[in-house]
């Protein structure tokens, strides 16, 4: 087999003559940037001036010099793992391919059009905007596309994103810029071979238990002429063999396999994510003719939906064990996907693991992720809830469009089905509840713009995609993974019960009452469903990240540049309004950045604890959102540059295996909740200690407790007055700790008044290196209670804890993990360099 990666390309605008060097995989925007033809798209308001790029056609070209050996092979194929999006491919002037879907790979035979010596491959990308405007025209009405920033793109209200099978967020989102890219965004190669070839290997998992794994290896073979020989499948010390006679053409061969006492794949927190590599080979007289291998993990995973007294369950079971899903919604890591290096993927997935997560949802407005994403999730035990790429829009339903979606779905389901991390395929993001077909005034008000006839047509098109086409593909090719039609939805009932527009006892829930509807944080406790797949609260990135896109003279909430990097129209107003309600007033704009993070962390901590406390009624919590695709004010816990916000440390604490959560009602009771995801009981001692804000111990008590395996319960209730005595509730802090065999396994801080009403003392917080730790461990102490102590360093990396509350006399030791670029894990103990330490008091008036 011969293989050539096509890397040396040049590009130009089709209406210009000059060529420039290009990088493949890549796209027009990043090629223009590298050639100095446009300014940094993420800086200042540059996004607004770069909207001309998507109105042009672009051309890429490469010349290959092929030695005669290529001509001697039976087959020669040109393959693209991805073309974005409307692309005509020419080889030596002959058109060999017309692509129209960014989400799938393309392969074409090219032996007849190639020659020995120089060959020219040229790809013409038609402007996705100009390509789709006539489709909108022809339809006669526009389809809802809530986040398509057509005005910014100079198109008025003409929203064309829904016509393209192209990443929806490229057209803008409420956290993302509008960069409608074109280009060869994944690997391109030329391959030549003779004889049989194994084109796919799927290890289907029929039945998995700790006693045995019953598998079927499904081997797809392409043979050019009738063939006889043996097929061998190997893994570790096991070997299966089958004699074969194959006819020319493409066919599949199935081999039943059994492994006794398999090492199972477990998610983070439940065990080790064990993996097996399977190798298939075709042999003739002991000589290997063709081979292919895959790495997978053996596990059973299902979404269990059973009727119970409170509705219908919604829980994942991994190898028969109920998993409380802890995680976040993942969006693309960049507006320009090919820029995301493996190190950046590792940083994200390692951050998920360090945040004690076991699930990420790949949200439907982005793209089906790169292989490396799933490989890392396999390796680290992160389950993946995989949306198909449809979000917050209604889509056309013509035959061509459905054909394109079918190709895309089949390609991705097959590409991803060997990954043990895949837990669920989900049809789309929020469309069922946004359209709310069966409730006249329900949903986002979209239906009122259409005649009855148009509505029925739009809904029929919806059903064709999400209730017929996609589930059929998942059922036929997905290897038993469950399908869920939309997130959120209660169940497909064909009447108004279907839509998850309110919190009920079935289906999954996106709860946005806090934030979009300005409900109080305490409502997180009231609005708990069976599985919380979205909820969130915005904040700003820290100052050093803001300074990467804004000059100092732009450091104001409503400056031109800050507004360009706040894509949620109501965002700034909401942050201010909530901050007025919950926190002391920040003293200036730079302080406001920090305080926005404190506020966000407080909101999401409330939500996470509320959801976990309701286990097993609620069995999952995925907040919005994990990451950013450019530097921006957003709901993310990790900013575009990989810096952990206060939220991320809060999540790390909130998702720990065992947590405490304290309700402190000054006029009522103190309730201490404990939640344990541990599969065995916890036996320990609960200690409560009340301090004044100068650190003087006012009251304390201790009791022994037992937590059954995998449970949530109240472990202590007492009248608040028992602990408070005569103390002023505005000047005390309660520390609850849970110790097991003398070691602290969980702790929580609680106050008896909102942060806004507490008279915070001015602490002096100090940090010193732990002797002998070579700058990797630090001891932090304070003279008075300090809130949200922030350790900041310019060195890239994370601390074992940060943005924490600190009590005098109870120093905290933290470790620093440097972010390393070379091989192996990203985060490794290393020196933090100079660390500055501040706390909330430094930022308030």
Residues forming the site for ligand BMA (CB under 6 A): 173-175, 365, 391-392, 429-430, 510, 534, 624
| Helical (H) or strand (E) element with 701 | strand 697-707
Separation between Cα atoms, residue 633 and residue 425, nearest integer Å: 30
In the complex, the smallest distance separating the C-beta of residue 627 from ligand BMA, rounded to whole angstroms, is: 12
Closer to ligand BMA by CB, 196 or 536: give it.
536
β-bridge mates for residue 197, sequence order = 222
In the complex, the smallest distance separating the C-beta of residue 430 from ligand BMA, rounded to whole angstroms, is: 5
In the complex, the smallest distance separating the C-beta of residue 782 from ligand BMA, rounded to whole angstroms, is: 36
In the complex, the smallest distance separating the C-beta of residue 315 from ligand BMA, rounded to whole angstroms, is: 22
Max Cα–Cα distance, the chain, nearest Å? 93
In the complex, the smallest distance separating the C-beta of residue 624 from ligand BMA, rounded to whole angstroms, is: 5
Six token digits for residue 450: 């259409």
Separation between Cα atoms, residue 29 and residue 630, nearest integer Å: 14
Closer to ligand BMA by CB, 381 or 571: give it.
571
Residue with tokens 């027009």: 28
In the complex, the smallest distance separating the C-beta of residue 828 from ligand BMA, rounded to whole angstroms, is: 33
CA dihedral 825, 829, 830, 836 (to 10 degrees): 120
3-class DSSP state of 526 = helix
Closer to ligand BMA by CB, 176 or 755: give it.
176
Q: In what order do the strands lie in the sheet with 94-99?
A: 20-23, 8-13, 58-66, 117-125, 87-91, 94-99
Closer to ligand BMA by CB, 172 or 755: give it.
172
In the complex, the smallest distance separating the C-beta of residue 146 from ligand BMA, rounded to whole angstroms, is: 8
Closer to ligand BMA by CB, 591 or 625: give it.
625
Closer to ligand BMA by CB, 604 or 785: give it.
604
Beta-carbon contacts of 352 under 8 Å, excluding residues fewer than 6 positions away, are 327, 328, 360, 380, 382, 626
Closer to ligand BMA by CB, 295 or 523: give it.
523
Q: Are strands 276-284 and 227-235 parallel, antiparallel or unpaired?
A: antiparallel
Separation between Cα atoms, residue 313 and residue 303, nearest integer Å: 9
Separation between Cα atoms, residue 7 and residue 143, nearest integer Å: 39
Closer to ligand BMA by CB, 150 or 429: give it.
429
Helix axes 646-654, 589-613, angle to 10 degrees: 20
In the complex, the smallest distance separating the C-beta of residue 336 from ligand BMA, rounded to whole angstroms, is: 19
Let me know how long the chain is: 845
In the complex, the smallest distance separating the C-beta of residue 497 from ligand BMA, rounded to whole angstroms, is: 21
Closer to ligand BMA by CB, 512 or 589: give it.
512
Burial class (CB in 10 A: 0-12, 13-18, 19+), 834: exposed
In the complex, the smallest distance separating the C-beta of residue 692 from ligand BMA, rounded to whole angstroms, is: 41
Closer to ligand BMA by CB, 175 or 655: give it.
175
Q: Is the distance from CB of 133 to CB of 158 less than 8 angstroms?
A: yes
The Cα-based distances of 644 to 40, 395, 621, 653 in angstroms read 24, 36, 20, 13
Q: Is the distance from CB of 262 to CB of 212 less than 8 angstroms?
A: yes
Q: Is the distance from CB of 372 to CB of 395 less than 8 angstroms?
A: no
In the complex, the smallest distance separating the C-beta of residue 534 from ligand BMA, rounded to whole angstroms, is: 5
In the complex, the smallest distance separating the C-beta of residue 510 from ligand BMA, rounded to whole angstroms, is: 6
Closer to ligand BMA by CB, 59 or 430: give it.
430
Closer to ligand BMA by CB, 25 or 365: give it.
365
In the complex, the smallest distance separating the C-beta of residue 601 from ligand BMA, rounded to whole angstroms, is: 18
Backbone angles phi, psi at 383, to 5 degrees: -70, 150
SS (H, E, C) 250-303: EEEEEEEEEEECCCCECCCCCCCECCEEEEEEEEECCEEEEEEEEEECCCCEEE
Closer to ligand BMA by CB, 180 or 750: give it.
180
β-bridge mates for residue 273, sequence order = 265
DSSP designation for 832:
-
Q: Is the distance from CB of 488 to CB of 507 less than 8 angstroms?
A: yes
Closer to ligand BMA by CB, 365 or 808: give it.
365
In the complex, the smallest distance separating the C-beta of residue 12 from ligand BMA, rounded to whole angstroms, is: 35
Six token digits for residue 173: 């989102």
Separation between Cα atoms, residue 389 and residue 395, nearest integer Å: 11
Separation between Cα atoms, residue 147 and residue 168, nearest integer Å: 9
């Amino acid at each position: 087999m011969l293989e050539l990666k096509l890397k040396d390309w040049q590009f130009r605008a089709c209406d210009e003559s000059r060529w420039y060097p290009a990088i493949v995989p890549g796209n027009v925007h990043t090629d223009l940037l590298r050639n100095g033809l446009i300014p940094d798209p993420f800086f200042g308001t540059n996004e607004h001036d770069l909207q001309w790029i998507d109105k042009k056609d672009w051309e890429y070209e490469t010349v290959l010099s092929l030695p005669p050996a290529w001509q001697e092979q039976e087959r020669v194929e040109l393959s693209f793992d991805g073309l974005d999006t409307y692309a005509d491919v020419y080889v030596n002037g002959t058109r060999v391919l017309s692509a129209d879907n960014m989400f799938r790979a393309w392969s074409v035979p090219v032996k007849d059009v190639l020659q020995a010596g120089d060959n020219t491959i040229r790809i013409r990308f038609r402007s996705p905007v100009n390509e789709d405007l006539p489709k909108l025209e022809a339809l006669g009405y526009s389809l809802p596309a809530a986040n398509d920033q057509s005005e910014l793109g100079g198109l008025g209200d003409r929203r064309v994103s829904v016509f393209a099978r192209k990443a929806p967020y490229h057209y803008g989102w409420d956290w993302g810029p509008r960069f409608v890219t074109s280009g060869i965004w994944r690997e391109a190669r030329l391959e030549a071979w003779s004889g049989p070839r194994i084109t796919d290997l799927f290890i289907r998992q029929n039945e998995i238990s700790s006693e045995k794994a019953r598998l079927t290896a499904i081997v797809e073979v392409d043979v050019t002429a009738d063939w006889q020989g043996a097929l061998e499948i190997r893994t570790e010390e096991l070997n299966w063999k089958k004699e074969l006679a194959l006819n020319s053409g493409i066919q599949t061969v199935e081999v039943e396999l059994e492994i006794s006492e398999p090492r199972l794949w477990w998610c983070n927190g439940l065990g080790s994510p064990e993996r097996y590599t399977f190798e298939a080979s075709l042999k003739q007289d002991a000589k290997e003719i063709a081979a292919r291998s895959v790495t997978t993990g053996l596990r059973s995973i299902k979404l269990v939906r059973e009727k119970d007294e409170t509705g219908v369950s919604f829980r994942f079971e991994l190898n028969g064990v109920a998993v409380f899903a802890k995680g976040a919604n993942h969006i693309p890591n960049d507006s320009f996907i090919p820029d995301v290096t493996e190190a950046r993927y590792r940083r994200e997935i390692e951050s998920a693991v360090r945040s004690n997560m076991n699930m990420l949802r790949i949200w439907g407005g982005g793209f089906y992720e790169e292989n490396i994403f799933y490989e890392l999730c396999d390796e680290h035990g992160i389950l993946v809830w995989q949306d198909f790429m449809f979000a917050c829009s209604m889509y056309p339903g013509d035959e061509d469009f459905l054909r394109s979606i079918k190709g895309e779905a089949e390609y991705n389901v097959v590409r991803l089905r060997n990954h043990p991390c895949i837990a669920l395929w989900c049809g789309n993001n929020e469309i069922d509840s946004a359209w709310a077909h069966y409730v006249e005034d329900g949903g986002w008000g979209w239906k009122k713009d259409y005649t009855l006839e148009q509505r029925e047509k739009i809904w029929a098109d919806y059903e064709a995609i999400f209730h017929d086409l996609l589930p059929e593909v998942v059922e036929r090719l997905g290897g038993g993974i469950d399908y869920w039609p939309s997130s959120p939805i209660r169940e497909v009932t064909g009447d108004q019960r279907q839509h998850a527009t309110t919190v009920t006892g079935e289906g999954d829930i996106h709860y946005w009452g806090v934030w979009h509807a300005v409900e109080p944080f305490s409502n997180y406790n009231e609005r708990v469903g069976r599985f919380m797949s979205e909820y969130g609260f915005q904040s700003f990135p820290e100052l050093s990240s803001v300074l990467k896109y804004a000059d100092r003279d732009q450091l104001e909430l409503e400056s031109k540049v800050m507004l360009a990097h706040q894509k949620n129209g109501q965002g700034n107003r909401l942050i201010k309004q909530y901050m007025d309600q919950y926190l002391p007033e920040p003293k200036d704009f730079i302080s406001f950045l920090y305080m926005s993070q404190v506020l966000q962390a407080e909101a999401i901590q409330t939500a996470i604890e509320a959801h976990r406390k309701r286990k097993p009624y609620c069995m999952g919590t995925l907040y919005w959102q994990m990451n950013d695709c450019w530097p921006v004010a957003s709901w993310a816990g990790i900013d575009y540059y990989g810096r952990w916000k206060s939220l991320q440390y809060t999540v790390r604490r909130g998702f720990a295996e065992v947590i405490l959560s304290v309700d402190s009602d000054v006029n009522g009771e103190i309730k201490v909740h404990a939640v344990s995801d541990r599969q065995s009981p916890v036996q320990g001692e609960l200690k409560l200690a009340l301090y004044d804000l100068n650190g003087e111990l006012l009251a304390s008590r201790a009791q022994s407790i037992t937590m059954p395996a995998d449970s949530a319960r109240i472990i202590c209730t007492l009248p608040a007055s028992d602990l408070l005595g005569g103390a002023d509730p505005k000047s005390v802090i309660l520390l609850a700790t849970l110790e097991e065999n003398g070691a602290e396994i969980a702790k929580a801080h609680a106050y008896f008044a909102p942060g806004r009403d507490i008279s915070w003392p001015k602490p002096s917080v100090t940090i010193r290196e732990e002797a002998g730790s070579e700058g990797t461990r630090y001891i932090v102490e304070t003279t008075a209670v300090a809130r949200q102590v922030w350790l900041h360093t310019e060195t890239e990396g994370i601390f074992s804890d940060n943005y924490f509350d600190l009590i005098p006399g109870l120093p905290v030791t933290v470790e620093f993990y440097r972010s390393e670029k070379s091989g192996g894990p990203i985060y490794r103990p290393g020196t933090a360099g100079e660390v500055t330490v501040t706390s909330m008091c430094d930022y308030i008036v």
